[in-house]
Amino acid sequence: MSIEFFARLIGMVVLGAAGIWAGSEMSVALNTPIEAWATIFGLAGMLMGLILTPNLTVRPVRVIRNRLSQISQRTLFAGLMGLILSLIISGLLAYPLSLLPEPFGGILPIASAAFFGYLGVAVFVSRRDEIFNALDTVPGRISPVEKSANGKGPIRPILMDTSVIIDGRIADIARTGFLSGELLIPRFVLNELQYIADSGDNLRRQRGRRGLEVLAALQKDPVIPVRISDIDVEGSRAVDDKLIILARQMRAPVLTNDFNLNRVAELQGVSILNINDLANAVKAVYLPGENLNVRIIQEGREANQGVGYLDDGTMVVVQDGQNFIGVELDTVVTKVLQTAAGRMIFAKPDSE
């Protein structure tokens, strides 16, 4: 049985009893038999209790709870700070205001408490980012952010987006210990990942399930802490927008391999950790004149070109290599080109 059913029963009993009492009082006032009015008012109260009680109790509480669950912890804490400060101010003003002649002495203390309460909550919530940034600069303040190994600076959490979880390489990177800090996955990112895993498209469903498996592996890995947070962002529904706003509020970097998110975040001053940039940075560096052994697997775009790939995926374009398809060839690097898609090496067969 649901909680609404119990609320209806309690409302029926309470309002029914209240109706019987009201009917009895009315019958005494009208000098009529008690049974008639008590029965009518009692039945009316029971009916009202059955119908109206959930709308007056359970459902409003449920709506308030859902709204509160969507508000970030910062917003709640800022609102609480504003309310406490405003109540202190209104409490200090209550006594002198109560000394005013009536009706002002009775009305103004209550009105000032309501006014300052609303004003305090509104100001603190609207300026929560500036308030928390100012608190971060207070020396000796106890901060929930962990210190780095050398104790010289705090370790900020690293926000993860959906693309980097689905990609899967983050699990191997985390095991190396290069990432310092806590990997933070907001609940809305996890919800998007679950939505992809439940997709009707087979490829999207496989990608989503792989992302969930990667998250499970990360949580079991003791090298780096992983936390799923219920923190949310108001006024925005797109996951990328929420990530950028949250990163600005927390002053935390975003770990991603989404090119569009990368560019938009950089324009808004958000630090980005791009997995693809890291992959390009750790590729072996070859200089013009160095020897390189590569297997030619296909023709190039230009005439008489052959194309091969290194173990890290770097494309090698070999001049006069078309005739060596399927052969491992010793080459000499002539030029290295860095593009947005990665590094490309141009070479020619080693004549020696």
Q: For the domain that residue 342 is a member of, what is the CATH number?
A: 2.40.50.140
Examine the fold and report which residue of 29, 50, 70 is the final residue of a domain before the chain moves on: 70
What's the pLDDT tens digit per position in 195-253? 999 988 888 899 999 999 988 888 887 778 888 888 777 767 788 888 888 888 788 89
Indicate the pTM of the whole model: 0.50
Predicted pLDDT at 99: 84
Check whether residue 318 and residue 242 sit in a common domain.
no
**CB atoms near residue 37 (< 10 Å):** 21
Chain centroid to Cα 166, Å, comes to 17
Q: For the domain that residue 231 is a member of, what is the CATH number?
A: 3.40.50.1010
Burial of 283 (0-12, 13-18, 19+ CB in 10 A): middle
Overall number of domains in the chain: 4
Check whether residue 343 and residue 248 sit in a common domain.
no
Predicted pLDDT at 69: 67
Check whether residue 89 and residue 188 sit in a common domain.
no
Check whether residue 115 and residue 60 sit in a common domain.
no
Across the range 47-51, mean pLDDT stands at: 85
Check whether residue 290 and residue 277 sit in a common domain.
no
The answer to whether residue 257 sits within a structural domain is yes
Identify whether the C-beta of residue 21 lies closer than 8 Å to the C-beta of residue 39: no
- DSSP notation for 94-149: HHHHHTSPTTHHHHHHHHHHHHHHHHHHHHHHHTHHHHHHHHHTSTT---SSPBPT
pLDDT tier, 314 (very low <50, low <70, confident <90, very high otherwise): confident
Strands 254-256 and 158-160: parallel
Tell me which residue range forms the domain holding 128. 73-137
- The chain-wide mean pLDDT, for the chain, equals 82
Check whether residue 54 and residue 81 sit in a common domain.
no
| 214 sits in which H/E element | helix 202-220
Burial of 318 (0-12, 13-18, 19+ CB in 10 A): buried
Predicted pLDDT at 137: 55
Q: What percent of the chain has pLDDT over 70?
A: 89
Check whether residue 187 and residue 270 sit in a common domain.
yes
Predicted pLDDT at 37: 79
pLDDT at 70 over 70: no
Q: What percent of the chain has pLDDT over 90?
A: 10
Identify whether the C-beta of residue 141 lies closer than 8 Å to the C-beta of residue 135: yes
pLDDT tier, 333 (very low <50, low <70, confident <90, very high otherwise): very high
Examine the fold and report which residue of 70, 86, 108 is the final residue of a domain before the chain moves on: 70
The answer to whether residue 54 sits within a structural domain is yes
- Residue 222's Cβ-side half-sphere holds a number of Cα atoms within 13 Å equal to 0
What's the pLDDT tens digit per position in 244-293? 888 887 888 999 888 888 888 888 888 888 888 887 777 778 888 899 89
Does the N-terminal peptide bond of residue 103 adopt cis geometry, omega within 30 degrees of 0?
Answer: yes
